[in-house]
Structure 1
């Protein structure tokens, strides 16, 4: 079994490492990618292709794990070269998933969505998949993946993911805003403590992780919220989703230049304060 990844960020590199440990041949292409991405690929010890065309032609399953804004463009570029099954695992709306997958000429497609954290759960992260070749993708469960088929119609998995993202990203934005204000007053730790009394066990750790992830992945979060807004706007005015989207755009501008995941959320608040003082 040969599995290829278009894009090699946190999702792809984590899944690739797990699949490699279970005896799967894993491929990617890092031409034109950042030095950090190339270093991660080399450390993962997977097979490197010279081009995305070679990657598409070589793999039994090709997984697109880029950014929401790149999903359609990437599928256009490799569509006529894909030999196996093409899985779009990006955080995109059902309509974007349909558009991206329409460019795969062999028609062997499905859209997939990761539920929860790949960083925490690794290869066992729960993945929902829908589309005509969902069952074939789910065969990767024999290599340690945790894939659930939810239908043969493209877009169902993407919709569930985005509805979930609307909730989780909105909560993260509100939490970040709340705790930053408490931090400025010197009562952030106490605030977390007393919120935890009502939110229950595990809240403290989850809250800190949400704040850090919101900053580190703010650009991607902003792109994801564009897809969320498109979906929810079909049935409502998406006021809360639009507000969350604007929050992540602003946060991205405020913390630009953060390259390593901080251990403490206060490091992120200090970065914001330092930038505000300079301005």
Structure 2
């Protein structure tokens, strides 16, 4: 997979927290060259901040998706779940021959399948990724499930650079279904804890409530958990709301009720700091 100069050429579409952390970790190996494009570069109010982030990460700042992916062997799509399909469609016509488009967004299986169809209509190949833990804690070593015909090949390449991919299927959808089923619980717990803590504070009964919960589940410090979860939602609630709407799409496509996931999405959005 390395290019003529011995470096693996990687492009990031989306350069938020995940793209930044991954790029820094990959750059530290000395074995990659990295280009990046983020839609914030098109926003005069956000452009300077994003450009500074890319400069600190030592990646080549690109003016468009087409510029970023043109000669990349691996394209990592790290946008919001609601933009995952559009990002794949934008990149597809410009992908280098036999490149791999690695979609790590928390999107529904059906969304990933449509994104895969867009990519494979061009010259690239599609691999879905499902990030199974907070990237802020594990960094480059975060567990990622991978699916697609070249998932094993991609895992070998990226694991050799310090990542932690586990190929789980040749078909697209299994990895994302695993992720989103888990997310119903994790994001749902966050929503429950925030509503519980908010109501308990309003009535001045938080100590009694948390003591009662801890008596039922002695291994959990509920006061600490409520604090941690509120912080996560404040920082990532908008992105997590988009993820839960993808979970709702997954459930609806299976003939199951999406109402709970949609309610969790609304709660995540309410808790986010704008």
Cross-structure match for 1:14: 21
Evaluate the alpha carbon distance shift between residue 189 and residue 48 of structure 1 in structure 2; reply closer, same or farther with a 3 A threshold: farther
Aligned-residue offset at 1:180: 1.0
1:247 aligns with 2:267: yes
Partners of 2:163 and 2:205 in 1: CA distance? 42
Output one character per residue of 1:187-219: Cα deviation in whole Å (capped at 9) or x when no partner.
446644553452515766554322111122221
**Superposition deviation, residue 7 in structure 1:** 0.3
Deviation per residue, 1:71-108 (Å, 9 max, x gap): 11121122011111101111100110011121111241
User: Compared with structure 1, are the counterparts of its residues 89 and 202 closer, same or farther at alpha carbon in structure 2 (3 Å cutoff)?
Assistant: farther
What is the rounded CA distance, in whole Å, between the counterparts of 2:268 and 2:115 in structure 1? 25
1:124 aligns with 2:141: yes
Q: Hey, what does 2:178 align to over in structure 1?
A: 160
In 1, are the aligned partners of 2:102 and 2:129 still within 8 Å (CA)?
yes
2:34 matched residue in structure 1:
26
Are 1:232 and 2:242 an aligned pair? no
Inter-partner Cα distance in structure 2 for 1:205 and 1:152: 41
Equivalent position to 1:65, from 78, 99, 103: 78
Secondary structure of 2:248's counterpart equals: helix
Q: Aligned pair in 2 of structure 1 residues 16, 187: CA closer, same or farther (>3 Å)? A: farther
Distance 1:85 1:251, change over 3 A: same
Give structure 1 regions of 4+ aligned residues with deviation exceeding 6 angstroms: none
Match of 1:170 in 2: 188
Any idea what SS the aligned residue of 2:42 has? coil
Q: Which deviates the most, 11-20 or 29-38? A: 29-38
When normalised by structure 2's length, the TM-score is 0.85
Q: Which of 114-123 and 33-42 deviates more?
A: 33-42
Distance 1:40 1:206, change over 3 A: farther
Question: For the residues of structure 2 that align with 1:53 and 1:81, how far apart are their CA atoms?
Answer: 5
Aligned equivalents of 2:223, 2:235: Cα separation in 1: 19
Query: 1:196–1:40: structure 2 CA closer, same or farther, 3 Å change rule?
Result: farther
Secondary structure of 2:94's partner? coil
Measured against aligned partners, the alpha-carbon deviations of 1:155-190 in whole angstroms (never above 9, x if no partner) come to: 111111111111111111001100111222344466
Consecutive unaligned residues in structure 2, runs of 5 or more? 1-7
CA RMSD of aligned residues (A): 2.0
Picking from 174, 177, 180, the partner of 2:198 is 180
Match of 2:230 in 1: 211
Alpha-carbon displacement from aligned partner over 1:98-138 (angstroms, at most 9, x marks no partner): 11121111241111010011001101100000011101220
